Structure 1
Amino acid sequence: MDYKNIQELIKTVSDSQLTSFEIETEGIRIKMEKKEQQLIVERIPAPTALATSVINESVNRESLAINQRSEEKIQSNIENEASIIPEENLFVVKSPIVGTMYSSPSDESQNFVKVGSLVKKGDTLCILEAMKLMNEIESEVDGEIVEVLVLNEDMVEYGQPLFKIRKK
């Protein structure tokens, strides 16, 4: 592994949402870790007034961009709060691997599923790319997609929730 590849690897991990990364190749072992940022979401008694607080020791250019993306996701979740479904009849599809999530087979194609899509056991929900291998993630239950929890080309971690399906 040459210096350029190591720099590219550092940049890729820095730009991703990964908090820890380790690789060993050609007798070289590289381990990278970055601190997770704390996000605190507070509910104020008035149902429409929700506040988010981002607590961080120092804000640099990278963490500012991450904070903005996180706040956008939180704001999106807050706006959709009125449509939150009770958890009792929901099946949560979690990522079986670390990788990049793709919601369609190609840029020109339609997404495999979207909110409101009816799926059957075995239907493809998305593709997770890990080390240049494309892994189709299939539904384990029959039902309706009620929430898509990750965006196209997002990095996902092992066990991270991807979809919520209302079982039928």
Structure 2
Amino acid sequence: MLKIQEIREIIKLVDASSIEEFVYEADEVKVKLKKNSGIVISNHTPEAPKPIETVQAAPAVEAPVAKVAPAVEKQEAKTVETASTESLHKIVSPMVGTFYQAPSPDAKSFVQVGDKIGEESIVCIVEAMKLFNEIEAEVKGEIVEILVTDGELVEYGQPLFLVKEN
């Protein structure tokens, strides 16, 4: 049986290499890793185009303008937010599972925004197949933002925390 640290090392090695997929099988254990290629394959069948309805000229011209303006504002806000978070370290999920901020429902959270953390500080738990995996910070700094909520499903590589490194 592989230990969680060994799996983390395999993930790091695959991530740093040029291979796209890695499969490891031993006894009753199978580990399969795939890199995110950015390609989304969907089996969704497109619907038939709907007939265009006849609409008066004035509402048809005004409606798109009202819908486009907020989208432009949101895009500008995302650009500003992205620029400010680029200098921060992201603690990412090493596996697919359920994110928990505390060791039990009635216990205090491992970390909160503003907390100072060390490289070996436990910041959360990701539960996968009834195994509760403690996630270490692996960086020294201060928690700036918690990006997921307690009990949320997380994906491999999904950012969980933003940390301002010391």
In the superposition, the TM-score normalised over structure 2's length comes to 0.52
Partner of 1:149: 147
- Unaligned runs of 5+ residues in structure 2 are 1-41, 45-69
Identity of aligned residues (%): 43
- Is 1:86 aligned to residue 84 of structure 2? yes
Structure 2 counterpart SS, 1:126: strand
Q: CA deviation at 1:107?
A: 1.1
Change (3 A) 1:100 1:43: same
Number of corresponding residues: 98
Change (3 A) 1:82 1:88: closer
Structure 2 counterpart SS, 1:86: helix
Say which of 134, 137, 140 aligns to 2:135: 137
Partner of 1:114: 112
Say which of 83, 94, 99 aligns to 1:101: 99
Counterpart residue identity of residue 140, structure 2: D
- Is 1:166 aligned to residue 164 of structure 2? yes
Counterpart residue identity of residue 166, structure 1: K
Q: Deviations over 1:63-88 (max 9, x none)?
A: xxxxxxxxxxxxxxx7xx99888235
Counterpart residue identity of residue 155, structure 1: L
Change (3 A) 1:107 1:142: same
Runs of 4+ in 1 over 3 A off after TM superposition: 81-85
Task: Say which structure is richer in strand.
Answer: 1
In the superposition, the TM-score normalised over structure 1's length comes to 0.51
The 5-angstrom pairing of residues 3-42 of structure 1 reads: 42=71
Structure 1 counterpart SS, 2:71: strand
Structure 2 counterpart SS, 1:89: coil
Q: Deviations over 1:62-117 (max 9, x none)?
A: xxxxxxxxxxxxxxxx7xx9988823531101111000000001111111011111
Tell me, in whole angstroms, the C-alpha distance in 1 between the residues paired with 2:131 and 2:108. 21
The structure having more radius of gyration, on CA atoms, is 2
Counterpart residue identity of residue 127, structure 1: I
Counterpart residue identity of residue 94, structure 1: V
- Unaligned runs of 5+ residues in structure 1 are 1-32, 36-40, 45-49, 52-77
